């Protein structure tokens, strides 16, 4: 039983979306996932991909994934953003997450990225312990900002976008 880490492919998207839903349930928001398989497929493998990633495979099934994208810092340059790293509950503790994280870090180094970033919910002490064990630090200075679609519509009025893009 060997775990294989490889780049995600189109055929992996259904199992990757299942892992996203498993993560949402773990994070106590089982109904929050609104992305469809078609949207995820297009966003990763369509004409203008915005994410890329790796999967962990065991006996032909996907047991984990890491989804990333490149961000740009005007101070530091390119950086890798780790959107999600998920390992199905049945195989946690077998260092699958570590292997996926290392694949992301190796990619970031190979691509000349300045650093990697990700977020952890403040109550997820297991994830914080995982990242700390791998040598990561947490930034106490920066607070995450967010604006939902509804908030953006409210900001711009009922007319939606301005067309200045």
The two beta strands, 4-7 and 61-73, are unpaired
How many CA within 13 A on the CB side of residue 52?
12
Closest CA to 5 of 69, 40, 50, 53: 53
What φ, ψ does residue 63 adopt, rounded to 5°? -115, -5
Considering the candidates 69, 72, 81, 131, report the single residue annotated as catalytic: 131
User: Is 131 considered catalytic here?
Assistant: yes
- List CB contacts of 15: < 8 A, sequence separation 6 or more: 55, 61, 62
Tokens at residue 13, please? 């998207």
Catalytic residue numbers read 131
């Amino acid at each position: 039983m060997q775990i294989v880490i490889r780049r995600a492919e189109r055929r992996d998207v259904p199992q990757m979306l299942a892992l996203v839903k498993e993560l949402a349930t773990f994070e106590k928001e089982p109904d929050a996932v609104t992305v469809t398989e078609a949207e995820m497929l297009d966003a990763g493998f369509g004409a203008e991909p915005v994410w890329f990633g790796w999967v962990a495979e065991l006996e032909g099934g996907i047991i984990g994934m890491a989804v990333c994208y490149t961000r740009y810092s005007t101070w530091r340059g390119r950086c890798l953003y780790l959107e999600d790293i998920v390992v199905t509950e049945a195989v946690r503790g077998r260092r699958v997450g570590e292997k996926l994280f290392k694949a992301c870090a190796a990619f970031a180094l190979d691509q000349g990225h300045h650093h990697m970033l990700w977020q952890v919910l403040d109550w997820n002490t297991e994830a914080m312990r995982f990242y700390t064990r791998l040598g990561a630090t947490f930034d106490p200075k920066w607070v995450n900002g967010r604006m939902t679609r509804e908030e953006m519509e409210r900001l711009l009025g009922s007319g939606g976008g301005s067309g200045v893009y």
